[in-house]
């Protein structure tokens, strides 16, 4: 019997779920530091908010780098035509684990465009 994939269930959901669980375990201290940095930014006064946000984004970047390494290491074992779907599904799930990845991406786009934060 052939396994049917539901449209709302990404093809690589199971492997990605396991990868992100392992990431969460191995990087629990980093994730805790990101949470603390986010809270510090939320509590920061106007005079220190920019600095706190920078510290927060630095930690998010560190997590992003580790996630990209995990994603790319697995993607290297796949056929070329499967990689884009896996990478897209991985990143969607990673942003659910760490929503600040989206904020970092948006922040990076604004900085490239020369906008103020």
Q: Is residue 109 part of a domain?
A: yes
> 82 in a domain, yes or no?
yes
Q: What is the pTM of this model?
A: 0.78
Please, are residues 56 and 34 in contact by the beta-carbon 8 Å criterion?
A: yes
Instruction: For residue range 1-37, list pLDDT tens digits in order.
Output: 455 444 545 788 899 999 999 999 999 999 999 999 9
Does a structural domain hold residue 2? no
Number of neighbours of residue 117 by Cβ within 10 angstroms: 10
Quick check: is 38 in a domain? no
What digits encode the pLDDT tens for the residues 36-59? 999 999 999 999 999 999 999 999
Domain total in the chain: 1
- Residue bearing tokens 């799930």: 93
34 falls within a domain: no
Whether residue 95 is contained in a domain is answered as yes
Residue numbers of the domain that contains 72: 13-26+58-113
User: 67 in a domain, yes or no?
Assistant: yes
Residue 84: band (very low, low, confident or very high) from pLDDT cuts 50, 70, 90: very high
Q: Is residue 93 part of a domain?
A: yes
Euclidean distance between CA atoms 115 and 117, whole angstroms: 6
CB 59 within 8 A of CB 33: yes
């Amino acid at each position: 019997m052939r396994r049917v994939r539901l449209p709302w269930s990404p093809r690589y959901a199971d492997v990605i779920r396991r990868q992100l669980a392992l990431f969460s375990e191995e990087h629990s201290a980093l994730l805790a530091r990101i949470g603390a940095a986010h809270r510090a930014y939320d509590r920061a006064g106007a005079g220190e908010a920019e600095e706190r946000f920078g510290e927060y984004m630095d930690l998010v970047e560190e997590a992003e780098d580790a996630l990209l390494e995990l994603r790319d290491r697995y993607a290297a074992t796949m056929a070329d035509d499967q990689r884009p779907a896996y990478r897209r599904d991985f990143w969607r799930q990673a942003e659910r684990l760490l929503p600040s990845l989206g904020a970092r991406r948006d922040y990076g786009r604004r900085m490239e465009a020369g906008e103020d934060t």
